[in-house]
Structure 1
Amino acid sequence: MDTTAPPALAWSTDNCQLARAMSVLGEKGTLIVLREVFNGVRRFADIQRHSRLPKQVLSNRLALLVEHDVLRRVPYRDDGARERHEYRLTPKGFELYPILAAVSEWGTRYYADADGPPVELTHRDCGEVVTAVLECAEGHRVDDPRDVVPRPGPGARPFEG
């Protein structure tokens, strides 16, 4: 084997957890749907109007997120109207908040207008802006992403290609 090749080339990606997660989260518009629900916009018509996603795209994304237990459908009925559903985060869905916070922080850094971001994520108790942080299992904060290295995990399989 080439000694200059990255060690990752020795391991299969067939069971990659990132690829599997992106099969749910990576479709166009999915993070926008999650943004809306995290911001308290839960009804189809409101999500569609606010996000400007095409109805069919929104319908498909909501169905996928429900299928994967990221969102759950909760029935409601306005007076005189038929029963409809709103979408609420499941515990699995709430675990995505750090991802949305990290993407939002990155977007603020590189893509916000000159006058700043239109939304800031703040700590409910003190009101300060929240940031996404990398931290190891021992509790050490990792400030430089170059200090994080991949290693084969318990599910690693040799690459046979």
Structure 2
Amino acid sequence: MYDQPRANPSVTAMTFDQMLERVRYEGAYPTRERAEEAVRTVLASLGRQVTGDDRVDLAQCLPVEAALTLTAQIPEADQLTGWGFVKDIASRTGATPAVARWDTGAVLAVVARLAGPDLLARILHRLPGGYALLFGQAELRQPQPAA
């Protein structure tokens, strides 16, 4: 028995080209190629953090090319905080943390719209603190005390 996909019915499907143009606008990137580089880098990093049904449902909301970038990654055993996520992107790309944060915000703002509020809330609930701001949302949960 198969579950029906839980795609967000309130969000219009977007092609990869439309996604790149939206990210280019959000990030004020000078070229489509620079926007595509940001999309692929951020989605690959996100693919190492999001697992299970959330990963499957998010992939279903994305254009095929973006979904393949997300799902091609093997999830890491230890999840990074939001700031750790940005620092990881910076270290993998050689960018400064400020540029990595900019890229992350531009891409994840578009991903948040494609995912819709319900799926985004589920994903944020399962990720460590700091991701809400990266998706352009308020951080509403209390940080967990260090063990």
Identify whether the pair has TM-score above 0.5, normalized to the shorter chain. Answer: no
TM-score, scaled relative to structure 2: 0.31
What is the TM-score of this pair, normalised by structure 1? 0.29
Higher strand residue share? 1
The answer to which structure has the higher helix fraction is: 2
Report 1 or 2 for greater relative contact order, CA contacts < 8 Å, sequence distance ≥ 6: 2
